[in-house]
Structure 1
């Protein structure tokens, strides 16, 4: 079989000189400009960064601009729905959700007509986010017209368990909106490649970028990564978009022969089919002892 689709990702300039509504409006306008340009490439799915219009807002402004989700009349949702329709593409974007007295870092998924498909609430919060956001507790896999989509946000990249759960639930693609600052130059790249290979699906990661890029800044480098761990399209260290045509049925073919090849035609059957979950119970237990914790970590910056 063949399921060829066009997957796209976006890098957006993060301007530290802007704040408040000036920043918010600038980012919404930038998203519209980039997605409008991308429409000529006829993508089937586009991904924007983690809470792209809220990243530079302080907590007071985040509260003010948070939206109930779904709410088709809410300003950001209405605008993103309009852009999905114009683009004729499924769309994933990061936002801030309010639900009662709780706030969530979320990724919202829209279909080609701008209709609400679902949301993912970030499970693994960055330490600095915990004072404001409530963590999510689900790993949804959503049905799109091109296949099954899982979603992770930024810090989630460090927790392979949830990525495997999405694979077990049938994800063909995982969207990874992020607000990553890469201090080594290749840390996020290595992690994304590993998640794609281990779970034998496509990963779309979307980042902010600061130009000119230096290590320790937002790197851009938004990518589409295939199950071989190879980059199929990349924005480099620049703002803009990247799109790749991929075949969701083309995974990493296993090199076995005969009956074993029939049992395991690709590494998806091998990696997921040969798991030993009966041995992994410790991962799900409360870790009271913290045996992994260093007694005397070397720290240079004390304050």
Structure 2
């Protein structure tokens, strides 16, 4: 991992109002680019809006209309963009997908594998937990409900992920969201010696929230004011390198038993 700058956005996305949502997303991307951000992450289903009951109506293909626009912005601004799209799935229920638009024009996607109980009737689960690479970092994605399963974070860490983005569409008040994240996000970061970066939707019942934790479990920055905003965080690679460097035997042996070291390194 190298030092990098990330941005997280909490925003309101209107269901089915794709062009309006994209316009709002573009404004944040422009601001992030001015601040030399390397990666920007938007909430779950930020492009198409979150409404399980109407998911078939506003689902779209990936690659498709929105992902092509996002990809062009990623290339123009030289910033990696992570945004949520309801992905069409032929005759089956759509996926909750986070698209990853790289600066070289490549577009990847992560499909939510663990659906919340109220989502099961309306969406199809993904079946893969990939990691993605840019020059500065290897990262993974967990979407909302998936953070309730600590094994996912561990699996991604074992694949070499140094940073995990956690886009949410969680109907909690700002206070409830903050209290909940304070319990398990630092734990996920500390137990797996990994950076965690989380952002939530705002509007209707969604209370928003932004938080970044470092591999020591410390909260680097957070925003729980319940208003649309973006935070920018500088991630110091030395924190994770000092832990994951095999030459640092005391830390390395303490946090990664032999069978895990063989898998990870």
Normalising by structure 2, what TM-score?
0.85
Query: Within 1, Cα distance between the matches of 2:209 and 2:218?
Result: 13
Query: Within 2, Cα distance between the matches of 1:59 and 1:155?
Result: 18
Runs of 4+ in 1 over 3 A off after TM superposition: 18-21, 56-60
Q: Would the aligned equivalents of 1:202 and 1:227 in 2 still touch at CA under 8 Å? A: yes
1:50 aligns with: 44
Query: Within 2, Cα distance between the matches of 1:121 and 1:58?
Result: 15
With over 3 angstroms needed to count, the CA separation of the structure-2 counterparts of 1:189 and 1:93, relative to structure 1, is farther
User: In the alignment, is residue 198 of structure 1 matched against residue 191 of structure 2?
Assistant: yes
Shift of residue 271, structure 1, vs aligned partner? 2.9
Where does 1:210-249 land on structure 2 (aligned, <5 Å)?
Answer: 210=203, 217-237=205-225, 238-249=227-238
User: In the alignment, is residue 89 of structure 1 matched against residue 79 of structure 2?
Assistant: yes
5+ long unaligned stretches in structure 1 = 212-216, 255-259, 277-303
Larger radius of gyration: 1
Count of equivalent residues: 253
Query: Within 1, Cα distance between the matches of 2:15 and 2:88?
Result: 21
Q: Would the aligned equivalents of 1:5 and 1:44 in 2 still touch at CA under 8 Å? A: yes
- CA RMSD after TM alignment: 2.5
5+ long unaligned stretches in structure 2 = 261-265
With over 3 angstroms needed to count, the CA separation of the structure-2 counterparts of 1:252 and 1:195, relative to structure 1, is farther
Query: Within 2, Cα distance between the matches of 1:171 and 1:275?
Result: 17
SS in 1 for 2:124: coil
Query: Within 1, Cα distance between the matches of 2:223 and 2:72?
Result: 24
User: In the alignment, is residue 169 of structure 1 matched against residue 159 of structure 2?
Assistant: yes
User: In the alignment, is residue 152 of structure 1 matched against residue 142 of structure 2?
Assistant: yes
2:256 aligns with: 272
With over 3 angstroms needed to count, the CA separation of the structure-2 counterparts of 1:245 and 1:68, relative to structure 1, is same
Shift of residue 253, structure 1, vs aligned partner? 5.7
Query: Within 2, Cα distance between the matches of 1:233 and 1:192?
Result: 12
Q: Could you give the per-residue CA deviations for residues 47-91 of structure 1, whole angstroms, max 9, x where no partner exists?
A: 00001123344644x32432332x2xx211012112212331111
2:240 aligns with: 251
Q: Would the aligned equivalents of 2:15 and 2:48 in 1 still touch at CA under 8 Å? A: no
2:95 aligns with: 104
Q: Could you give the per-residue CA deviations for residues 117-167 of structure 1, whole angstroms, max 9, x where no partner exists?
A: x22111111111111111112211122221211111000000001110001
Structure ranking higher in helix proportion: 2
Q: Could you give the per-residue CA deviations for residues 205-260 of structure 1, whole angstroms, max 9, x where no partner exists?
A: 1111249xxxxx43322122211222223344221211111123423967xxxxx9
